[in-house]
Structure 1
Amino acid sequence: MDDYLDRKTPWHLWVVGIVSLLWNSIGAADYVFSSMQADWWLEAMQYPESGIAYLEAFPAWAHAGWAVGTLGAFIGSILLIARSGLAVWAFALSLLGIAVTTYYETLTQLPPELAEIQPAWFPYVLWSVATFLLIYAISMKSKGVLR
């Protein structure tokens, strides 16, 4: 325990933690408010009717993947800032959720109106950020920064 208390938190943990929390807050908010079918959110995000119908048609397993992907990443960011080793598990679950959602999206055709507001490069950014956060958390855990 004394070793943990003596170990200084690197400055980059705060940067990565706060930036990832801001980034993952957007995904978590999108999941929560889209799932609630909050009109104000769907309007603000410019979801077309066909996009809303697409989201409503998600089977339970794809919806669960979306939830685990977004909320796991959000919780992982909080755990990273709290220096908890559980951040590794949260980010790993987030990647699993992203994989489930990505799999579902390969089985279906994204409505053209929804594809227009979601850039083709966005899934690559999503996967890259999520993978980086898992690797970063594993690195911080192995160095004893996360308990």
Structure 2
Amino acid sequence: MDELSVRTPWHLWLIGTVALLFNAIGVFDFVMSMARGAQYMASAGMTPQQIAHYQAMPGWMTLIWAVGVFGAFLASILLLLRRALAFPLFAISLAAFLVSLLYTYVLTDGGAIMGRAMAITSTIIVVLLVFFTGYARAMSARGVLR
């Protein structure tokens, strides 16, 4: 099918908007964490131990975090613009988040420090990123994304 004959399904606008809003929260959190540091984290309800864990994060992890949040945000925009690049960007973002989970729960004692609420939040993020990645892949395969 040529690109003129492929109609944009209504759910692309719904899912794309939800993805954009959800991933905007991640960008906001990253920017505020970098700009305001401990003050922002404390205002978000983090304990001193949790803040110390984030502040001790190595530079490579900060880069992984940035790739994850900005990649997912850009992928959401590209999904709404019907661009096929949305799929690989969502996949990269998902991979970055999985690396951050590896760091938090395997390479450090971050799981114990961050607690159950962060584990639940992380699970929700993984589920949504897997969904957004799969959705972008399906829309790309159907020719909706070009």
Contact 1:51 1:111 survives alignment (8 Å): no
**Count of residue pairs the alignment pairs up:** 145
Scaled by the length of structure 1, what TM-score is found? 0.88
TM-score by length of 2: 0.88
For 1:45-60, what aligned pairs fall within 5 Å after superposition? 45-60=44-59
1:35 aligned partner: 34
CA contact (8 A) 1:80 1:146 kept: yes
Distance (whole Å) between structure 1 residues aligned to residue 8 and residue 39 of structure 2: 40
8 Å CA contact 1:50–1:111 kept in 2: the answer is no
Would the aligned equivalents of 1:73 and 1:90 in 2 still touch at CA under 8 Å?
Answer: yes
- The change in CA–CA distance for 1:70 and 1:44 in structure 2 (over 3 A counts) is same
Residues 13-92 of structure 1: pairs in structure 2 closer than 5 A: 13-38=12-37, 41-92=40-91
Instruction: Give, in whole Å, the separation in 2 of the partners of 1:112 and 1:105.
Output: 9
Deviation at 1:5, TM superposition (A): 2.6
Matched residue, 2:145: 146
- Amino acid in the other structure paired with 2:6: R
- C-alpha separation between the residues in 1 aligned to 2:30 and 2:74? 14
Structure 2 gaps, min length 5: none
Counterparts of 2:3 and 2:111, CA distance in 1? 51
Larger mean Cα displacement after TM superposition, 51-60 or 7-16? 51-60
Per the TM alignment, residue 7 of structure 1 is displaced from its structure 2 partner at its CA by 1.8
CA contact (8 A) 1:76 1:91 kept: yes
- Matching residue of 2:115: 115
Give yes or no for contact 2:42–2:51 (8 Å, CA) kept in 1.
no
CA RMSD in angstroms comes to 2.0
- SS for the counterpart of 1:138 is helix
| Maintained 8 Å contact 1:65/1:96 | no
Amino acid at match of 2:109: Q
Q: Cα offset for 1:38? A: 4.9
Q: % of aligned pairs identical?
A: 37
C-alpha separation between the residues in 2 aligned to 1:28 and 1:8?
31
Return closer, same or farther for 1:78/1:126 CA change in 2, 3 Å cut-off: same
Question: 1:108 is matched by which residue type in structure 2?
Answer: T
Shift of 1:130: 0.5
